[in-house]
Structure 1
């Protein structure tokens, strides 16, 4: 027998029915060839002692940097507040029993980095040795499922997906857990659910809120001149710069230059999830989570598919399937304008090339019956984009005329079509066009009329979901698209941001308090996030070693933890200051669990809490000044036994607990 492990029960049921292995057992389906079961959300994850108050509040080492990150069953709570552990345990028992009776595994989790990571974590946690291959299930139709199960891919082909997701997950854990733990000592566990990347998004939103409130609108006066071209058509030209010079009726207007540029407007690519979320937010005010859930329901109803992975064009076979769907959809009133355009279809670009599972979303041939409002909106966007993608390019002529009158420069600009292409499919994509003035360079024409107008400078606006995602994509790149949407959802669920009736995002009172604490820290610096993103890319491309990456990530974790522990807004200063030996200019200000130099160009810090022992002021001064403490009793090993040791600063500049039987980096 072969065990197929799906992402969820809906997918497992579709696979069971498609393969005719649909006898229902306890938390699985079975037949003559396959056992089919599924995973629960975040079933196996990096061990996080969420429920242990001793971990969060009692004296332990700072920061927490285990040599090896272990895996365990999830200890999270669901949306309803109920613990997810019992459900995960029950499902895990079924998976173990099925694997014990199987010869191999087919992985049918989501064909994404996260889907690959969830299976690999499960496989590692169970210490499984069965061979496995991957099925790329892009839709839940019978044809799509059977094709994927019959033609599975070698497991090693998706090692890059797993490695990229694992590196990101481990970095999120190291930075996020230590930051939240440092905040928990001051504000209480769970008060500020800060993450490695979400703090920088919070800062971007808060900075934009401040900029909008402080912006001042100004008024500018521009002048205009109207002239006739050789064909007798009148065109108005506007001054390029603000001025108060109104042209005389007898003045001549000299045409300085006439520019015409012809450019091809390529058909847009098929939607991937992040671009679908952007347009749904812009057009319908839907949050990223609402869009994702609507798309997930469409997928479960077999209405959409995402067949294009790691390629730049749609395969001919899939294109023929899409063409049949589009021809069928012409009978719907929503697409009457497409039928009138009568452009015909041609294979077009699908998505950008990617080694990390970028997908183009398309509609299947299943009739879209009885959809809720959100599903209907998302389905319409997907079908609309398919028509546009498989249409013809538009060719636009952009014209610009520069003229001068009484020392003031004026301009006219406009657009016209050479071929309208995909712009004719839907009325809202057509541009307003104007005839091109019949002028030549260095020509002098008579002034027909002159005037002026005042305009106000445009005011910045608070972020919406669409503009925030677009800015984050521009900063971090499309490879991090999934994480960007999750950060916004996380900030909302944590009560740190809110939206007004127009979809503008602002930070809440709780968000402002957190922003006031972290705004100058590394954890809220988007450049530090990009730095970590680049480190992960270097590892996946074998440009730096895993050990070098581990060293740098742990150093970033130390820096982030030290900044939070040294925040005067969270922790009161303790004993006397100690001169900084690192820069000789600042002083080491001492707090409860760290001492940090007050020279911003230095920022040197030393932790003072190790294995349940907090260094006294004299011991801390000895460590800073001489590089070691006297022997100290009372250190508590993880086994519970106490031991005597010294704390030293090693050659790498990190603190280390050294005893005859134990040596640990702290």
Structure 2
């Protein structure tokens, strides 16, 4: 008997389909990778199982980072299995090729990516043997298009399967998006890396359609912050006495009008009604109203505020970052665990904030679970609110919540019917957020009484106005779910009553001097918002409309994009702020200078989305779109090939530290820091004057200098240890830098310091003078003093003619710099803080650990965080234990010697590392 193979995108969807089909097709037998009934075989992918790649003959293995082998524009793409999913892929291919399977039903998510996942799996199956490659699979293909996962909706979907021909435009758009990202990411990354590596070394410079515009958003904000002109202004506040008591008010100009079209950061843009731009004027106003009486006008009106909509992934990530400091990656991981492992949340990788219109009964059942289940901890308090929602009839089929038009591939994130058990603290926090939002969205709006009071004081021939705002919560509505039964908000929620016509007197007045502030740096929360709303940055209305729903990236990939920028050192986290590095500014300068600035703008995505939308509607051919992408790729590579790397224009810095050779001015250009001579920074003709010849690279071993770092290096002649260097083969290492003076020419030059001089000094048997240093603490072996020396921290008794101690530990261990502050903590408390930059030499994975003093072994060792309890997640526990074992195995000798396992702190290690590795995945990640 012939059967249809149903391929879902996720195992949970396959199970939903089986449950829906059982009443009409009978019992399904469960096998390891699939379910089978009389007419159906149901299985699933786990997201993407294969990825595209260039055919081997078009993608060179050696020299691929060279302009000689660019651009790479293959006539077609081959497929490569994703390693971690090979087992699932092979199982699906086996099912696809079964003789009794005569038709295939694509039940992947209803959208472009779902279409691509299915098409690539089927293509891989067809390409896997010579027979099917020549003849094709010869099996009918149809599409199950679901926006709701209720059993009835699934059965309706099977009754209205779409034909393969109907889906071909969407399939073409899906393939084009994937292939275009590959072409721009691979060629752009290799071209910019080749450009930046012309002077030797390997300066990996990744670019991508989503990554680079996202970085540009952060860089442009930082540029505004750096260029901000701080301006002084003054605010005036008064306290006024009425019969019922006192209240405060802020002076404002009632005739003020905001200037239209004012440039951001200009004085006109920073004008506000309550700002005074002269200290004398502000003081004059204060003196005029002091002790004077005036009249009051007041307007009170009711106001309502509805609950926010249900969560999509980006909103959940944004709010979790603001409330708990969770990174976008952490939030996604927690939500995924709540969905996959605990099964208490619906699918989290969604961009929808609405539910299907047939989900009313599911919502009622879910609300009943919250009302009736004995939920743990703080969640128990939500039961009463869930019961109230059910008993008072709050759950209604409103378009604000139930709207098929607002449901894309997936619906909003809500709790499931499964009650939570054994959640970690972080998981419980996220689940609590989702449950509260789920309950609150059905509650009535909160009701406020908003009062605006204007106090007018006639004085000195003018009338001065002071404004007081009050906002009192009258009915909490949905805010009761959040514990705000009688909350009050506003400048002065407790406004004392003022009778009509009552005269009030000024009791006090103060003038506060303030300064204008630059724009705030991005946090992950605000950057996620900027990525989601990137269409607002586009002027072209057609492209803006195309990006209105998409933004930069997808909810599932935005966290990955941000983490990628952090991994590649384009950004740093400082607290919750994201700060672009010198490498980020260098890339931005390069792309602007090469004339390929469109790579930095969201218009690129907007243009693609518009054309892909046209393709989905059958108005644009796949060939026309890909021809345009190929031409764009060729232009990017050609621009990079032709441009003189010394003449990239940019906003370059002048260093405050003088030239070490001649004391002249050191200026920055695209590639180097160069002495331009004493006196003026520019010559008579506007060109940089000739200096003494001193020059040093801005990117030693592929790592960009921050300005404060190069200033310190020139000032103190040493710097580090620093991480982020790369060998010619792309192998990362950590090292120190030093400035050395040539014995013959007396000119200064920069070199890596691998501690050879200090080692010779230690081995010489001569006494070492530590008198100029401050001790870091007492040696744990002999109680003498510990100091910095070369690339190590050593006991003062471990060197000299008669060493009596052997304590020594490295300043860099497995690529993790150990700062003097951390070493001091180890000496004083027995261990450092938890350090998260250790990198396994074998697996190249990062891991976290404390460094601690092992008194029994008489050496510094690793101490790992306690393994997560079983209920908190097997994956986390396995990773922690694996990292611990790996770290302990690799680091024992390193810690004992004090200098090994640093990646390349020794020249020999650097040479070995250069032979071992190449940056295989860099360009693919950028795409």
TM-score by length of 2: 0.53
CA 1:507/1:373 → structure 2, altered by over 3 Å: closer, same or farther? farther
Mapping for residues 92-491 of structure 1, pairs under 5 Å: 93-98=93-98, 100-124=99-123, 126=126, 127-128=136-137, 129-134=139-144, 136=146, 148=154, 151-152=157-158, 154-155=161-162, 162=171, 165-186=174-195, 191-212=204-225, 215=228, 220-229=233-242, 232-239=244-251, 240-242=274-276, 243-244=282-283, 245-246=285-286, 247-255=288-296, 258-300=298-340, 301-305=342-346, 315-328=359-372, 332-335=376-379, 338=382, 342=388, 344=392, 345-347=394-396, 348=398, 349-350=400-401, 353-354=405-406, 356-357=408-409, 359-405=411-457, 406=459, 407=462, 408-427=464-483, 430-432=487-489, 434-435=493-494, 445-476=504-535, 477-480=548-551, 482-483=553-554, 486-491=557-562
Residue 109 of structure 1 deviates from its aligned partner by 3.0
- Structure 1 residues without counterparts, runs of 5 or longer: 77-82, 573-666
- Residues 1:90 and 2:97 are matched in the alignment: no
CA 1:314/1:131 → structure 2, altered by over 3 Å: closer, same or farther? closer
Q: Which has the higher contact order (CA 8 A, sep 6+)?
A: 1
Between the two proteins, the alignment pairs up a number of residues equal to: 557
Residue 221 of structure 1 deviates from its aligned partner by 2.8
Cα distance in structure 1, aligned partners of 2:244 and 2:222: 50
Residue 118 of structure 1 deviates from its aligned partner by 0.7
CA 1:304/1:113 → structure 2, altered by over 3 Å: closer, same or farther? farther
- 3-state SS of the aligned residue for 1:360? coil
CA contact (8 A) 1:492 1:498 kept: no
Aligned-residue RMSD, C-alpha: 4.1
Cα distance in structure 2, aligned partners of 1:331 and 1:58: 60
Residue 168 of structure 1 deviates from its aligned partner by 2.9
- Structure 2 residues without counterparts, runs of 5 or longer: 127-135, 252-273, 277-281, 536-547, 649-927
Cα distance in structure 2, aligned partners of 1:14 and 1:316: 18
Cα distance in structure 1, aligned partners of 2:454 and 2:172: 55
CA contact (8 A) 1:309 1:357 kept: no
1:339-396: CA deviation from partner (whole Å, max 9, x where unpaired): 5665643235227743743521111121211223443232222111101112111233
Cα distance in structure 2, aligned partners of 1:339 and 1:38: 36
Q: Please say which of residues 475-484 and 385-394 is displaced more in the overlay.
A: 475-484
CA 1:14/1:116 → structure 2, altered by over 3 Å: closer, same or farther? same
Q: Please say which of residues 545-554 and 377-386 is displaced more in the overlay.
A: 545-554
CA contact (8 A) 1:161 1:356 kept: no
CA 1:9/1:533 → structure 2, altered by over 3 Å: closer, same or farther? closer
CA 1:558/1:146 → structure 2, altered by over 3 Å: closer, same or farther? same
TM-score by length of 1: 0.71
Structure-2 residue corresponding to 1:500: 573
Identify the match of residue 74 of structure 1 among 72, 80, 90: 80
Residue 117 of structure 1 deviates from its aligned partner by 1.9
1:564-601: CA deviation from partner (whole Å, max 9, x where unpaired): 334433999xxxxxxxxxxxxxxxxxxxxxxxxxxxxx
CA contact (8 A) 1:263 1:395 kept: yes
- 3-state SS of the aligned residue for 1:410? strand
CA contact (8 A) 2:65 2:193 kept: yes
CA 1:552/1:263 → structure 2, altered by over 3 Å: closer, same or farther? farther
Residue 454 of structure 1 deviates from its aligned partner by 3.8
CA contact (8 A) 2:109 2:410 kept: no
- 3-state SS of the aligned residue for 2:510? strand
CA contact (8 A) 1:309 1:358 kept: no
- 3-state SS of the aligned residue for 2:506? strand
CA contact (8 A) 1:495 1:511 kept: no
Q: Please say which of residues 308-317 and 496-505 is displaced more in the overlay.
A: 308-317
CA contact (8 A) 2:239 2:507 kept: yes
Cα distance in structure 1, aligned partners of 2:579 and 2:206: 17
Residue 421 of structure 1 deviates from its aligned partner by 0.9
CA contact (8 A) 1:65 1:554 kept: yes
1:621-658: CA deviation from partner (whole Å, max 9, x where unpaired): xxxxxxxxxxxxxxxxxxxxxxxxxxxxxxxxxxxxxx
Cα distance in structure 1, aligned partners of 2:452 and 2:481: 27
